[in-house]
Amino acid sequence: MAKATSKTAIATPPVKIWTERKARLLRLRLDRPKANLVDMATAQAIQDALGAHLGDPGLLAVLIDHAGPHFSYGASIPEHLPERCAAMLEGMHRMILAMVEFPLPILVAVRGLCLGGGLELASAGHLIFAAPDAELGQPEIKLAVFAPAASCLLPERIGQARADDLLLSGRTVSGTEAQALGLVTATADDPEAAALAYFDQNLAGLSAPALRCAVQAARLGYCQRVREKLARVEKLYLDDLMAKHDPVEGLTAFMEKRPPVWKHR
């Protein structure tokens, strides 16, 4: 019986997809609460949804939010282990590039935890709306790994020094502090409502082809820099970092719920 239940859970789509506002707004909702892990299935679902709606002539924006109390605990830890991490990074980074290069604004609404791969997903969007008490961070360094996509995205969004603080310490920040850093666009007790209000007030009345061109023009250099750097940091992660002892120890210790034992090699 337990085995059948597991198969049913895996078969459940990880992202709910629909349109509203007269098909002007594409909605994507992470739907594996409470963790909403950004695993390979979730990354593929988001990439597929963006690709399927890429040519919608009247589409004006995308809103990504989440079911449950938390945006995402992060990526799947087992998928980070050496035998699976190459495929995981490839899938994750395809999704990141699909978002970064999408020719319309992607709004993101965040409550609760938004960590690791969850924050990488949010950072690949254009505008983030967060609850004041949301918790955002890239804690990968505490497991003796680093966040490849965030290493490319955060310096672009908030500047090198602020990105260094988050990436090298692994600390989390509240939605309020994230707004002060420039990572979050606005805070609101109901970030989904705030994102919808932004769409209604600022995007709903625009020309779709003009908005597409404006997005592409604003992001020309940014998209190229992210694409080129992402390939380099992915190689660093796979060829250098994952050949060491400590990253595997950190990931294994996390899964076994014990303190890691670093050998500094």
Query: Which contiguous run of DSSP H or E holds residue 164?
Result: helix 160-169
Computed over every residue of the chain, the mean pLDDT equals: 95
Please check whether residue 51 lies inside any domain of the structure. Answer: yes
100 occurs within a structural domain: yes
pLDDT bin (cut points 50, 70, 90) of residue 12 is confident
pTM of the model: 0.94
Q: Say if residues 62 and 49 touch (Cβ distance below 8 Å).
A: no
DSSP 97-140: HHHHT-SS-EEEEE-SEEETHHHHHHHTSSEEEE-TT-EEE-GG
Asked if residue 260 belongs to a domain, the reply is no
- Residue 11's pLDDT is 66
Predicted confidence (pLDDT) per residue in 50-77, tens digit: 999 999 999 999 999 999 999 999 999 9
- Render pLDDT for 224-235 as a digit per residue (tens, 0 to 9): 999 999 999 999
| Number of structural domains in the chain | 1
- Domain assignment of residue 238, yes or no: no
Query: What is the edge-to-edge ordering of all strands in the sheet holding 113-115?
Result: 113-115, 135-137, 172-174
Burial class (CB in 10 A: 0-12, 13-18, 19+), 208: middle
Kindly compute the dihedral angle of the four CA atoms of residues 100, 123, 231, 74, in this order, to the nearest 10 degrees: -130
Phi, psi at 256, each rounded to 5°:
-90, 0
Largest CA distance in the chain: 58
Establish if 257 belongs to a structural domain: no
**Domain assignment of residue 215, yes or no:** no
Tell me the CATH number at 14: 3.90.226.10
Pairing outcome for strands 135-137 and 172-174? antiparallel
**Is residue 8 predicted with pLDDT exceeding 50?**
no
Domain presence at residue 248 = no
pLDDT digit string, tens, across residues 114-153: 999 999 999 999 999 999 999 999 999 999 999 999 999 9
Integer Cα distance of 11 and 105 in angstroms: 30
The Cα 140–Cα 169 span in angstroms is: 9
Peptide bond into 34 cis (omega under 30): yes
Residue 259 has phi, psi (to 5 degrees) of -65, 140
Domain that holds residue 164: 2-192
Distances (CA, A) of 181 to 155, 160, 162, 173, 187: 11, 11, 7, 10, 12
Q: Is residue 203 domain-resident?
A: no
- The alpha carbon torsion through 111, 116, 117, 123 (nearest 10 deg) reads 60
Q: What is the mean pLDDT of residues 4-19?
A: 70
